[in-house]
Amino acid sequence: MTHSATFAIPYADALARLTLGAEPVMRPQALSREQLLEAYHPDHGGDARVPLRVGANRGEPCHPALARIIEGNALIGDVDLVAVDPIATDVLVIGGGGAGTAATLAARAAGAEVILAAKLRIGDSNTVMAEGGIQAAIGEDDSLRRHFDDTMKGGHGAGFPQLVAQLVSDAPDVIRWLIGLGVGLDLADGHAPGTRLMRKRAGGTTAARILSHRDFTGLEMMRVLREAVELDRGVTVLNRSPVVELLSDERGRCAGAVLYDLEHRAFRVVRAGAVVLATGGAGRLHLTGFATSNHYGATADGLALAYRMGARLRDVDSFQYHPTGIAWPPHLAGGLISEAVRSVGAKLVNGLGERFIDELAPRDVVTAAILRECAEGRGVSRDGGLGVFLDTPALLAAQPDLLTTQLVSLAHLAHRAGVDPAREPLMIYPTLHYQNGGVAIDRDGSSSVPGLYCAGEVTGGIHGRNRLMGNALLDIFVFGRRAGTAAADYADGVLPGRFGLDHVQRWQRELSHAGMIDGPRSPVLYPTYGHFDLRGHMAGANKG
């Protein structure tokens, strides 16, 4: 969803209207937040959703492009599992990001042997792109109740209260766990022993509860988690091994998965007592035509696989578009500028030099406000691109040391863009950022399919219909750890039985009865513009 730059203010004219170093004037708001979202947010509108036609959520709404993936034909159906020697493990974790590594460490702490399978490499995930920080109610002026209320309100009341309560209740212990592993968090009063953690306020919150490592918090956390997993001899890491199908047993339980080893062009069959699905979101599907901040592997694999297995989903018509994606230069389009920049005071300014929204309103509201400015001709155009200004010159005039202390990633991004942020504002436009919905889970990450646990962005019910900054990093560690522990406990009581692809055959029959057998195949695994054809790649592999 992009608007024409024809009806926008040319960059040079817009820049001339911006008084560098001065506070821009706020334009009065004509619409309520609800009216703004209804009129301009991409989740709304006549073509924003379609009913699912098959599966456990038949008749419920889903984004049209995502529905085609979720209701797709199996990517494989002709693999001779008998010809592939299976690998056995207690717990199979699918996904090498924060949720997957947290689940792996928790399962190991519970005594399970673990195989972790990563589509790319362990650590190549959206986690490393989480810049702003992690929420946890640890301040004297804060409480678990306030964190709960902020999260429920930010998600428009659609979050599942039991999941939100678990999220906020586990937060302080998650912070202690991360620090114990070696994650460094910014301190408020220098670096002397006993000093307090620095806390910042996120959009849509009533207290300062964001904890961070400068503005590359997720990268710091992923560095520590990856090392912890790789040093654990009870974990086998399979890089470049995307999952192409789950396995089921005669009781309908999840019994493992079929992987495809890209290095050796061979299938791997992993028999597991329990599976933790931590495959992330759907950003690389570029829903509604948006650029994305997501990593290369974010193609909704987990949703397609879990749904085919029979798992229930929720809120799969709801996505978050981060307000501040790079809009210029074009080769960086969609790259993320952390909310941390706005939390320390940067303002959003249109082509007329006006502020038009509270920068720390919830992300969906700020996104809709930016799209409104562009739709109504108050955006800024440059080289065919469209956006508004993030007024970094005014911010850095007041706090010139921010680029070297708190906003290190912003300094690197501005350098790549060829922009001096102290003299020139950055052009921004919303970027497809997060999948609000996903697989329905309970407080231990259990899906509706026995033996299948889920954690991280592949799940739904925690954030409702809009996620607050900092709750994603918290989510992956809270529910990653809980899913890993629960999967280990479940696997300890599972007796090996017959396993195969019976659920795939049932799924294909359902598609046939619905007249949908000619649809696309899923999981997608990689974006189409990567020119990678997995089925062509599999030619000659060990299939029957």
How far apart CA 8 and CA 222 sit, in angstroms, is 40
Judging by beta carbons within 10 Å of its beta carbon (0-12, 13-18, 19+), is residue 540 exposed, middle or buried?
Answer: exposed
Quick count: other Cβ atoms within 10 Å of Cβ 313? 26
Give the amino acid at 311: A
How far apart CA 425 and CA 38 sit, in angstroms, is 29
How far apart CA 103 and CA 279 sit, in angstroms, is 12
How far apart CA 360 and CA 104 sit, in angstroms, is 35
Number of Cα atoms under 13 Å in the Cβ half of residue 302: 36
Active site includes 146? no
3-state secondary structure of 88: strand
- Contact yes or no for 511/54 (Cβ under 8 A): yes
Q: For the CA atoms of the chain, what is the radius of gyration?
A: 23
Closest listed residue to residue 178, CA positions, set 130, 144, 143: 130
- Contact yes or no for 274/453 (Cβ under 8 A): yes
Which of 68, 363, 382, 481 is labelled catalytic? 363
How far apart CA 34 and CA 49 sit, in angstroms, is 19
Q: Which two tokens stand for residue 133?
A: 């920080």
Residue numbers annotated as active site: 363
